[in-house]
Structure formats: C-alpha cells, structure tokens
Structure 1
Amino acid sequence: MLHKPLSDESSIRVAAIRFLARREYSYHELYERLKPRVQSYALLESVLLSLQEQDLISDQRFCESYVRSKVNSGQGPLKIKQALFHKGVAEVIICSVLADYSERWYDNAFRVWCKRFDHPGETPEDQARQIRFLQSRGFEFEHIQAALKQGRQQVSEE
C-alpha cells in the first residue's frame, strides 16, 4: 500500500502519533519510519522535537519498555544493548536501564538454559554448544558460567 506523502506539519504529526498509539518508539526509529514519506526533513525534525518536548516521544520510556520485553523473552544484556544502539538510543540511557536489571541476568541465563537443556554438557563439545547458545542470546560470560554451574548443582542434587 502506497502512503500519501506527508507535506505539512499537521500530517506529519498525525502520522507520528498513529505510530506512537501502537507502541513506544525511539526518536531515531520514528524518524527513520517517517523519513521516506516526508518532503522536508527539517519539518520532520521540527515535529518530532515538538513531540519529544511534549513527552509523547521518550527514548527513556522506549528503552524501559524494550528492555522489559526482551528480558521477559530471555535475551541477555549484550544483545539488548546492541539492538538499542541500532534504534538510536543514547548509551547513557541504555546503561541506566540495563543497570536496573543487573541482578536478573544470572537468573535469566539459568532460566533460558533450563528451557533448552536438561543437563550440563558432559563432553567439551556439549559444553561449548551450551555456551554458544547462551552467547547467542546475548549473555555475558560470567552469566553463562553461573548458569552452567547452577545446572550442574541441580543435576547433582537430583
């Protein structure tokens, strides 16, 4: 479906608010979504800055929502941080939001490990496969080590 070009402030604002009504967007993400449809990039920036001043666009709120969603789906801090960089969120915002979850990474890594594996790797190849899996989910090595250790303890208690 082809969209009608957005040529004035009002039409750009309406289009931006329609996006924001569905979910939070970062400033950069919304800019990139609307850029192909506008005739004036300066006007687009002006409208988005106005929405940001009115707190309708908030990179902080977007980041909190995004991190919460990704933590609940079993992703680790490295993968989340990288995705947020690509969405144009400032590093200071990313780091502050991720810091709120610092105690959850260990439990999250173990939870993700338990969903995929029922016992720690018995051979070095099995262990390497489990480590690669958790790395691909974005966990740091210390989280991975803790998850594997907890898995070994769980198996030895059974």
Structure 2
Amino acid sequence: MIIEKLTKKGDNVLIKFDDETELLLDLNSVLDKGYRRNDELSEDEIENLKKLSNKTLVKNSAFNYLSRRIHSRGELYQKLKKKNFESEIINETLNELEEKKFLDDEFFANRYAEEKLFRKKWGIEKVRSNLFLKGIKRKTIDEVLSAYSGDKVILENAIFLITKKKKFYSNKNYTEQQMKQKLFSFLRSRGFEYELISKALNVVLEK
C-alpha cells in the first residue's frame, strides 16, 4: 500500500492510502517513522500501523472523557469498552495514562469523597460502596475514607439532614419510636454509620 496523503490534525496525523484506507496516528509516531507521501508500506507495516491507530483512537477518547471530569480507571475502562475497543489496547493506554499521572485512582477517590461527604452530605458507607462500583480497590478506599472517620462535619451533616426531615414528619402523628425509626432509616439510606446515626438522633430527639 502506498501513502497518498498525510494530514496533520492537532497532535495526530491522518494517513490516507491508495486503497482509500485511512489511519489516524500520533504525530510523534509518524515523525519517528519518517513517513512521507508515496512511501510504500509492507503488509506487516500496515498491521503495525493499524494497532498504533487503534491505540491513538483509544487515547483520544480517554483524553476526551478526562477533559470533562476526573475518572477512576474502572470508569474509564468501561466507557472505552462500550466503544468496542480491544481490552488489551485499553489497558495499555490506561497504564500509560497512570504512569504519566493523567489517571490516579487515589486522587480520584479523595476528590470524590470530599464532594459527596461535604457537598452532597452523603454518609461514609454510601461513598465507600460507590467508589467500589467505580472500580477503586478496597485498600485505596479504606485508606482514603479513614481520613474522614470521626470528622465532626459528617456528624453535623447528619444532624442537619434529620432535623430537616423531622420537620417534614412533624405532621404525620408518629410516635417517638416511629419517628426514631424513620429518621434512622433515612440516614442509613444516605450511607451513615450506625454509631454516628445514634449520636445524631440523640442530639435531634432531645431538642
């Protein structure tokens, strides 16, 4: 196959061949190979270029997702897999992104925990289960969330939430025990731990 045209597209180069095949490659790869118009490539070279092209497409898609927000490795893998990219190429690309610190599960877990615990007022257990679903390793989750264990703000959030919920339930004619059960279930649904719920209930129900 003969190269008919090379077109620079940002950090990539689109190579068009005489049989109308088109391959998108990383600019540095093209420069390293020294490809020029009218170069004739063997079948083996074309196969290697196809693999490089697939990797370029995976990398471009990965950066596109990362430009919108930070992702965990597991999240990014699933999104790329849905685009029907090969698992081997996806993992190679993600390994490279991790080495260059474009992808960092510990950083992601910390940012995610801060947002959900303090802005969304989730409990630690809900954050834990969601991080696990996003593919974060248990060890990383435990290390990240251990820093928030016993945080006064989380208790204050629980108190704030059930104080508001108690007002909502105030016209329901619940007994004290029923009210306590309702508030307990509400905080459990938001992922708060048993001990913290007990402390929050003691504060709110004594008012």
TM over 0.5: yes
Matched, 1:109 2:162: no
Query: Normalized per residue, which structure has more helix?
Result: 1
User: TM-score, with normalisation over the residues of structure 1?
Assistant: 0.86
| Counterpart secondary structure, 1:34 | helix
Cα-to-partner distance string for 1:117-146 (whole Å, 9 max, x where unaligned) = 249975211111110001101001111111
Cα-to-partner distance string for 1:60-92 (whole Å, 9 max, x where unaligned) = 111111111111211101111011111110112
Task: Provide the residue aligned with 2:104 in structure 1.
Answer: 58
Please tell me whether Structure 1 or Structure 2 has the larger radius of gyration of its CA atoms.
2
- Where does the alignment leave 5 or more consecutive residues of structure 2 unmatched? 1-50
- 1:8-157 alignment to 2 at 5 Å? 8-71=54-117, 72-102=119-149, 103=151, 104-118=153-167, 122-153=175-206, 155=207
- Where does the alignment leave 5 or more consecutive residues of structure 1 unmatched? 1-5
Query: Normalized per residue, which structure has more strand?
Result: 2
User: Structure 1 counterpart of 2:79, which letter?
Assistant: R
Distance 2:85 2:200 in 1: 52
Between stretches 130-139 and 32-41, larger displacement belongs to 32-41
1:105 deviates by 2.7
Q: How much identity, in percent, do the aligned residues show? A: 29
Between stretches 106-115 and 64-73, larger displacement belongs to 106-115
1:114 deviates by 2.3
Over 3 Å counting, the alpha-carbon distance change for 1:130 and 1:39 in structure 2 is closer
1:29 deviates by 0.8
Number of equivalenced pairs: 149
C-alpha contact 1:24 1:61 (8 A) present in aligned 2: no
User: TM-score, with normalisation over the residues of structure 2?
Assistant: 0.67
User: Structure 1 counterpart of 2:195, which letter?
Assistant: E
Distance 1:115 1:56 in 2: 41
User: Structure 1 counterpart of 2:105, which letter?
Assistant: D
C-alpha contact 2:121 2:154 (8 A) present in aligned 1: no
